[in-house]
């Protein structure tokens, strides 16, 4: 492929050509995709600053912008709700993004809601109803945890505030994520420090083997932490349209805090991040779910909430959506 060919053309042409065969059959393209983003409890730093306002959960605005940049709308998914809420929302949206965060164990609303949504997505796909999931950082770890039957396969590591290239695995170019990628994206990822890593837990190939899920996923790339530990950086399910990366593709374009020094903001890092956004939104286009009424759709969208500028307080996120319900 030409290095100069626009990424959006390549991403759209990839939809037309189709990805590698999967168990699930994807329907025709939906040009009005809506993706749910899972909320979570306030982090300690956010709680210290905004906890007195009775906020119960939040979503970093960078995830919303990431998806909107590729042509999707966003619905915030609340935590600590009844099963009927999650069933209704997953049957109304076209994909799920599970963002990074702090904790996913069953004491967290994020973890409980994530498990419910994961199981609902499994059921949908088993019925031939195409429904993709994207996991970023803690979302990556949550998917691994659930695939392993809630037997945590992670190990403590130090990959905080670290920008890295990806070390691709053999066969990565046949994967759903990377087979449509232009050579410019692959070359940048393989040679430049364009992935923003902010995690203190890692999953290695050996741990995935011990967890008996290494045959359920395709490991696509690895990276190395500050101490030289090699960990899995990207994978996709062999059976379901589930994709995950340990790094943060939303940060290069949308997070500018000066406390963390190694978020890449180069033109190439933005080019790569845009590819990941377009890839997942194109996956969501394969879902034909819709809200039962236009009124319900409109009342569910993130547009009903105003983001708060949190970056001025030197927090991790420049903007956040806060929720009280």
**Residues noted as catalytic:** 137, 248
Cα–Cα dist 204/224, whole Å: 10
3 state DSSP class of 41: coil
Q: Report which secondary-structure segment, H or E, holds 302.
A: none
Distance of CA 68 to the CA centre of its chain: 13
Which two three-digit tokens encode residue 140?
Answer: 């990556």
* 309 φ/ψ sector (left φ>0, alpha ψ -120 to 50, else beta): beta
User: Which residues have CB under 8 Å from 116's CB, separation 6+?
Assistant: 83, 86
Cα–Cα dist 243/268, whole Å: 22
DSSP track, 187-245: HHHHHS--EEEEEEEE--HHHHHHTT-TTTEEEEEEEE-TT--EEEEEEEESSSSEEEE
Which two three-digit tokens encode residue 324?
Answer: 């009280």
Count of residues making up the chain: 325
């Amino acid at each position: 492929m030409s290095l100069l060919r626009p990424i959006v053309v390549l991403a759209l042409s990839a939809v037309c050509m189709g990805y590698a065969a999967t168990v699930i059959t994807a329907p025709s393209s939906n040009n009005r995709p809506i993706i749910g983003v899972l909320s979570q409890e306030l982090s300690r730093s956010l709680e210290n600053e905004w906890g007195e306002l009775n906020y119960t959960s939040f979503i970093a605005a960078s995830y919303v912008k990431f998806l909107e940049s590729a042509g999707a709308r966003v619905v915030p998914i609340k935590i600590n709700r009844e099963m009927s809420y999650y069933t209704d929302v997953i049957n109304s949206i076209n994909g799920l993004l599970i963002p990074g965060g702090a904790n996913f164990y069953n004491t967290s609303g994020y973890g409980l809601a994530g498990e419910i949504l994961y199981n609902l997505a499994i059921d949908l796909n088993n019925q031939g109803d195409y429904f993709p999931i994207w996991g970023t950082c803690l979302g990556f770890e949550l998917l691994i945890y659930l695939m392993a039957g809630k037997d945590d396969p992670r190990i403590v590591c130090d990959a905080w505030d670290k920008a890295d290239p990806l070390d691709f695995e053999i066969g990565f170019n046949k994967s759903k994520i990377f087979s449509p990628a232009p050579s410019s994206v692959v070359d940048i990822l393989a040679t430049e420090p364009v992935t923003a890593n902010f995690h203190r837990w890692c999953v290695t190939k050996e741990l995935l083997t011990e967890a008996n899920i290494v045959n359920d996923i395709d490991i696509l790339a690895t990276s190395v932490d500050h101490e030289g530990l090699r960990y899995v950086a990207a994978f996709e399910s062999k059976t379901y349209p589930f994709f995950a990366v340990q790094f943060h593709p939303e940060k290069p374009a949308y997070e500018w805090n000066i406390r963390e020094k190694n978020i890449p903001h180069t033109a190439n890092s933005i080019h790569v991040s845009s590819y990941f956004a377009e890839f997942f939104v194109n996956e969501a286009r394969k879902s034909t779910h819709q809200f039962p009424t236009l009124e319900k759709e409109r009342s569910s969208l993130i547009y009903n909430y105003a983001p708060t500028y949190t970056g001025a307080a030197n927090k991790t996120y420049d903007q956040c959506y806060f929720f009280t319900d």
